[in-house]
Every structure is written in structure tokens, then in C-alpha cells.
Structure 1
Amino acid sequence: MVPKIVLLVALAAVAVNARRAPHADYVENLIKSSGARFSSDILEDSLLDAPGLIAKYGYPIEIHHVTTSDGYILEMHRIPHGRDEHNTRDPSKPIAFIMHGLLSSSADFIVKGPGNALAYVLAEAGYDVWLGNARGNFYSRNHLSLNPSSTFNQNFWKFSWDEIGNFDLPAFIDYILETTGQSKLHYIGHSQGGTTFLVLNSLRPEYNEKFISFQGLAPASFMNNNNVSMFQSLAPFENVIESTAYLLGFGEVFGDREFIAWFKANYCDEGSIFADFCSSTITGLNEREFYNTTMVPLFLSHVPAGASIRQIAHYGQVIRFEAFRRYNHNGLTNMIVYGSWNPPEYDLSKVTAPSYLHYGASDKEVNYKDLHILASRLPNVIGKFRIERETFNHYDFIWGIDARQVLYDKLVYYMKDAESRQ
């Protein structure tokens, strides 16, 4: 039984920040126009934002805001303890900080609901759970002076995952440790969430000492073996993607459902270079064997959550040049920013935090061969862990119906292992 005061605090926090899900209007219209039938719970959940979902299911929820050194105002969601187990506040609880992937948000780790979603599994296992939101997504679209909605000035969007690692993560981590009074935490990063961890600890190696473990869920770094046709087709044009977008008046990608609908209608035909992306991200949730199709409206209400064009372009550079290195502006700008004509590679020998790397055999976005390359460059890899199911893919890490059985419960075991090594 959760103490009433916790529920009151949770509901009060949500009331102050009352919002609908990022794409609630879209999902409502989609269901009305299609005539599809879904349970009332799914429909209700599809209209709630992440804090609203957490509060609805009886978990304590806190909303925290931090400001980066370059002026971005970011939002974190905290579940300080469990609902059924470990359901009292304890300042000595170990901390689990979770960071989402490209085009995603903190919602990735709660949409599957109690008993299944990673955030709830960790809270019930005795962790103080913090969920980050990178600059530019639905929850972190604020800045001290820049306007994300301006069509005349895209300066808000002139960032890649380099800045997320170099500025957002330190702001999050320092705030969490100061708030809790602890000195270390676990870092769990899915896809780009793993990329940014590598960026942080290579550029600011002093942060390695603040991590009990790095749990990399398909951490994206090298992409020599990436076989997503869209990425392969766009990579040669990475140097014009961003400049073209700016000329058209936008710096964000897939943050607007109207744009997504237009994109789907014009570029998701079979044979298009975007077909793989459309199938996996925009239209194909109900085609996946290991997705619960009844939850499609809930997934679509939160994804995509927004990202900058430059984030996409930066991954394009990784593919084009077969190198995990900083963002390539142009020769002159590179000289000013980095002191060299070409951007430097991230020095992964400086990433000394204990690293546990998890991968799926059928992951197209982060091919297992590229994960092995990453592992060979990191100096403190505790283990590489292949998910047992042969068909486990990039999106199963967050949406797979068996993710708890094949990954999350084991993740708790590995985190406890890391704690025993301290």
C-alpha cells in the first residue's frame, strides 16, 4: 500500500506541469478515422505525458529542471522508490539514471507499464530512478534566450549528440548527486543514450569516477557495419542535410506530427530509401512479432519526441567516414573549435567506467560487429552480453514484450554485481 502522502505529492507534481502526451491529438484523430478499437485504459494512457502515466499507476513522481552551462533548460523525471516493493524513501538507495535514444524521451522506459517497463522494474528492485530528457525533445524544449520554434533563426537546434554528452549529461549527473547526497550512480543508456555516455567520459574523463556502472543497451558508436538502407543512402549527403534544412526554415526532425504524416504519405512507399525507417519507426509497430499491438496508440503518442537535424547528420558522418569522432562543421570552423582541420576522434581509452555492453543479434541500427569494435576500444569492459532471443532488435530494448525476461531482470543482476565491486 503506497502512503497517501506519496500519491498526493505525485498528483500535485503532475498538476503543476499538466500536459498531454506529445502526440495525443494525432492518436485521437487516428483512432477516430480508422475505427480501430482499443481498451479504455490504452486510450486514456495515450493522452497522458510521462509524469501523468507514472502518477496514474500509483508511483511517486518528481519533476526536476536543470539548466546547462550553455543555457538549455532540461527536464528529468524521478521515481524515488517502488510502489509494491522497496516503497519507502531511503536516501541510501542506489541511483539508476536512464538516458533515451535518438528521437525518444523518458517515456520509452515507462510506456509498457508496471511490471514490464524498465523504470518500474528498477524502482521495485530498490533503485532511485531518474529519467533524463535530452535538449530538443518534447520535455526539454526550453532555453534561456533561444526559441526552438523560430523559423528565422535555428540557433536553438545547432547541436548534435556531442553537446548532449558534453553539456546535458554533466548537468543531469551533478544535479542528481547533489540532490541525493551520493557520490556515484548507475548509468543506463539506450542507443544514443550510450553514445552520449561515451562522449562525456572521453571529453571529460573526471566523470568516470561518478559511475558505479555503465549499462550500454545497444550503445551507438561505430557504424562500419550498419545495414539500415536509409542511413547508408543519406550518409554521403550528410554535409548538405543540415544546411538544406536551415534554408527551408527548420532545424528539428520528426517533432511535428503534421510533418510526419506528410513524410509518411510521400516517402514511405515500398522501394523508398526511407522504407526501413518507416517500417521500424513510423508505421511498423504493429508488424513486429514481439510488440504488443494493443499498445500501438500509446507508443505512437510518445514517439518521435523530436531531435535536431544535426544529430542525424552526425551519425551520417560516423557512417561516411567510418570513424567515431566529433561533429565535422567545415575546415575553418573545425580549426577554430578543435584546433585542427578535421574533427578529432573521441578518445575511448579515457572511458574507464565499468562497462556492461548488451546487444541483440538482429539489431540493424547497432550491429553486433560494431559493438565488438567499441568493446575493443574501451579499457574497462566487464562483459559483452548477447540477448538470448535470436530476433531481438534495436526497438525490443524498450518495446519488446519479453524485454523484462530476457534483459531487465538480468540488468538488475549486473548492476548488483557492479555494486559489489565498489
Structure 2
Amino acid sequence: MLRLVLIGVLVALASARRSPHADYVEEYVKAEGAGRYSDNIIEDALLDVPDLVKKYGYPFEAHTLTTPDGYILEVHRIPHGRDQNNTPDSNKPVVFLMHGLYSSSADYIVLGPGNAIAYVLAEAGFDVWLGNARGNYYSRRHVTLNPNGGRGNLDFWQFSWDEIGNMDLPTVIDHIIETTGQPKLHYIGHSQGCTTFLVLNSLRPEYNEKFVSFQALAPAAFFVYNEDLSYRLAAPLEAVFEEILNAVGYLEILGNREFFTFFATNFCVDGLIAEACHAILNNANPEYYNTTMTPLFLGHAPAGASVLQMTHYGQSINTKKFRRYNHLPIKNIEVYGRPTPPEYDLSKVTVPTYLHFGYADVQADYRDINYLGDQLPNLVARMPVDRVSFNHLDFVWGIDAKEQLYLKLVDIMLSYH
């Protein structure tokens, strides 16, 4: 397998960038009133991940890796803690965290030192690695293809989470093992970050031997029981939506800076749509969402994705099956040797697995997560979060996520060492 691996600390690149939506944050803060948010929050909202980690005194590395099909990924590393376990150690246990749909490595640091899971893990003695899937803000490059819009540039965006699991993850996992010298690592995924883990280990079961444990946070795989109205309304339109966007030459979603800034500035500041925007951020759970951090969250999310990632989930909702991407029958025959896509064989996912879920999560319904658990041969535990109102965004933005979840993850993973 041809693999080009470019390794290095990207100091010049990091210093030249801002957060994905820094332009919008400046407009948002201006509209809301500059005095409403602290200068520190606004600064954090404008910094990209490398500069944000370094601002708080943590060691940081950015590694660039190239997948076998030419996508250039940026992987972030916090090799040790700042206050505890703060010296380099080649024997540290390694943990890799993978973000959800439309997200990036920022999900795991925006809550800040003392609260964000990446920092909690570093202080607990882990060598922490954070992934960025192809097409998001930090991995929006290719050796030959152009990611920018237009009919001639659609090839860059011809991927779903199948390719992320089958191509991106093995590239990153192999690099981490080679760099750290540790033969195995822990894997933490949120939502789509769990989807891609299941894809990897079902299609390439030899990778099961490279993981100590799989900590699945709100895993998205099956949608058998999910009753979320937005899913049910949007899913039947998945094929039409993809066809329309193909026709206009645009397969990127929520990643284009200019489009996001225009939309959010004009529609998320005033009026009824503004209320909807805030409802999405609050996720109907304002008691555990810190509204003073809204600019920080908006600066880093969404980080972009391919329309086909969303379409693939639509197919899962429609069929109630966890299977590979459904192309036209002719292409299915070309790719899979059959007119319909095969299901992922979850019996091959043998990593010790812990399913963490919230009863109030409407995106990843707890009944579907239990259904997933029934398909896995090495399920160690189903672990509902104690707070019954814990929802999908609370896994990364909840003000009590550390107490409800992160410290438990640390205890589970340290028990293996």
C-alpha cells in the first residue's frame, strides 16, 4: 500500500490560521454587543486549535499524514500534561480521539483546561492524539484534487464516512503506533467518530489487535428506533439532495467560510431563525450549556464535511441497516460486486467496547445504541450517563461532562495499565 507520510510540527501554518469561523464570530460579537462576552472567550473563539492549546501552556504537535488515496490529514497531539504528568515519557498509555460529523479536534479542547477531555486525559498521564477527518477545516487538502467549489472540483468530495474509516483511520493509527512505539492505543469516538471505528474494524479486522479499548460516546450506527422528526423528514430526500448539489457543483457542507459567515451573520443574529440557531446550540438543555461560551463554540464548529457523509446516514435511517454507501446499482456492482451494498460485519469488531449514552440524546437514541451492543462480540459494558437529561452535545460541550463522563473514562482506561 502506497503511503506518503509527512511528519512535522506545523508552526508556520498554525500561526497563519484562525478558527474556522473567526470572521463570523467577530460579526456575531458585534451584533450581540462586545461587552456580553469576556475578552478571553472571544480570543479563544478566534484562535485555531494549535494556537489555542499552546495559549494554555500545553505541549503541542501537529502531524500531517497522507492517505493512500491522497487526502492530507492534520493530526494533533498533546504528548503530556501541563500540571501533572508533565514530562515526556515513551511509556505513557496512548489515546486517540475522533470527532463527530461536521466537527474537528476542537471538540475535545474548547471546554478549556480542567474541563475539556483532551486536557483531562493529558493530566491523567495519557499521550493524547486528536484526529481530523478528510474534508474538515484541518484536513481540507489533497495531493492533486481541489477542495474548492465548482463543477471541476467535485472529485475531492466524493467520500462518506466509509472512506474515513477505511482510509483515514488506518493511516492515522499506524502513524501513532510508529511514532509512540506503543503497540496498542485506546480509542474514544463521539457519534461519527464511533461510526468510523466500526467501519475500520469490520472491513479491516486486523486492526482490532491495535486497540486496548473502544470508548464509544453516543455511537451512531443504527437508526431502528430513533424517532427524531428531523431525521424522518430529511432521510427520504437524501438521494435528491445529493443529486441537486452535484448538479450545482457543490458537495461540501458547513465548511465554506464565506457561505457560513454569510448565512450565520444574516440569519442567526436576529429574528425567528436566530431563535432556532440558539435552540440548536442550547440543544433544549440550557441548564447545562454555558451560554457565555457561545462565541467559542461558534468559532470552531461546524468544521465542514462532505454531503455524502450526511447522505450515508440518510441511507442508514431509510434502510434501518448499517451498511456501506449505496451508489447506483451499476456502481455498486463495480465497487462491491453486487447491486446493493453489503452490511458491515460487526461480528468482526472484537475490541473491548464500552457504550456510553445519554437518555435524552435524540440524535443517537439509547435504544439504537443498545441494539448496536447486541451485535458486538466483545461488549464489556453499557454505561448510561447518570444525568438523565444528558444529550448529544453534552458529550463535548456540557458543563458537567467531566464529572458525568470524562473521569469515568480515565478510570476505565487506566485500569488496563
Name the TM-score class by shorter chain: over 0.9
Question: 2:254 aligned with 1:254, yes or no?
Answer: yes
Determine the structure 1 residue equivalent to 2:392: 394
Render the CA deviation track for 1:226-269: whole Å, top value 9, x for unaligned: 23322211111212221211112211111135434665667999
Q: Secondary structure at the match of 1:225?
A: coil
Determine the structure 2 residue equivalent to 1:3: none
Determine the structure 1 residue equivalent to 2:243: 243
CA contact (8 A) 1:235 1:317 kept: yes
Alignment partners' CA distance in 1, 2:269 and 2:217:
28
Percent pairwise identity: 59
Q: Secondary structure at the match of 1:289?
A: helix
Render the CA deviation track for 1:5-55: whole Å, top value 9, x for unaligned: xxxxx9x85445221011011101111122152111111111100011100
Alignment partners' CA distance in 1, 2:269 and 2:98:
29
The structure-2 alpha-carbon separation of the partners of 1:206 and 1:268, relative to structure 1 and needing over 3 Å to count, comes to farther
Determine the structure 1 residue equivalent to 2:345: 347
Determine the structure 1 residue equivalent to 2:59: 60
Correspondences of 1:63-102 after superposition (within 5 Å): 63-102=62-101
Aligned residues: CA RMSD: 2.3
Render the CA deviation track for 1:351-395: whole Å, top value 9, x for unaligned: 000001100010000000000010000000010000000100000
Determine the structure 1 residue equivalent to 2:106: 107
The two structures have a TM-score, normalised by structure 1, of 0.92
Alignment partners' CA distance in 2, 1:22 and 1:378:
37
Tell me which amino acid in the other structure corresponds to 1:205: P
Report the Cα offset of residue 291 of structure 1: 1.0
Determine the structure 1 residue equivalent to 2:213: 213
Correspondences of 1:30-45 after superposition (within 5 Å): 30-36=28-34, 37-45=36-44
Determine the structure 2 residue equivalent to 1:169: 169
Tell me which amino acid in the other structure corresponds to 1:96: V
Report the Cα offset of residue 284 of structure 1: 4.0
Tell me which amino acid in the other structure corresponds to 1:17: A
Question: 2:8 aligned with 1:17, yes or no?
Answer: no
Correspondences of 1:17-416 after superposition (within 5 Å): 17-18=14-15, 19-36=17-34, 37-152=36-151, 153-260=153-260, 278=277, 281=280, 284=282, 288-416=286-414
Name stretches of at least 5 consecutive residues in structure 2 with no aligned partner. Answer: 1-7
Moved more, 114-123 or 217-226: 217-226
Alignment partners' CA distance in 2, 1:347 and 1:269:
48
Alignment partners' CA distance in 1, 2:156 and 2:215:
30
Alignment partners' CA distance in 2, 1:71 and 1:318:
27
The structure-2 alpha-carbon separation of the partners of 1:320 and 1:388, relative to structure 1 and needing over 3 Å to count, comes to same
Alignment partners' CA distance in 2, 1:120 and 1:230:
34
The structure-2 alpha-carbon separation of the partners of 1:13 and 1:247, relative to structure 1 and needing over 3 Å to count, comes to closer
Alignment partners' CA distance in 2, 1:245 and 1:211:
38
Render the CA deviation track for 1:279-305: whole Å, top value 9, x for unaligned: 654x54696221111111000000000
CA contact (8 A) 1:62 1:78 kept: yes
Render the CA deviation track for 1:36-85: whole Å, top value 9, x for unaligned: 52111111111100011100000000010100001000001100000000
CA contact (8 A) 2:21 2:261 kept: no
Render the CA deviation track for 1:160-188: whole Å, top value 9, x for unaligned: 00000000000000000011111100000
Tell me which amino acid in the other structure corresponds to 1:125: A
Render the CA deviation track for 1:66-125: whole Å, top value 9, x for unaligned: 000010000011000000000000001000100000000000000000000000000000
Q: How many residues align?
A: 406
The structure-2 alpha-carbon separation of the partners of 1:17 and 1:268, relative to structure 1 and needing over 3 Å to count, comes to closer
Alignment partners' CA distance in 2, 1:376 and 1:233:
28
Alignment partners' CA distance in 2, 1:271 and 1:324:
36
Determine the structure 1 residue equivalent to 2:3: none
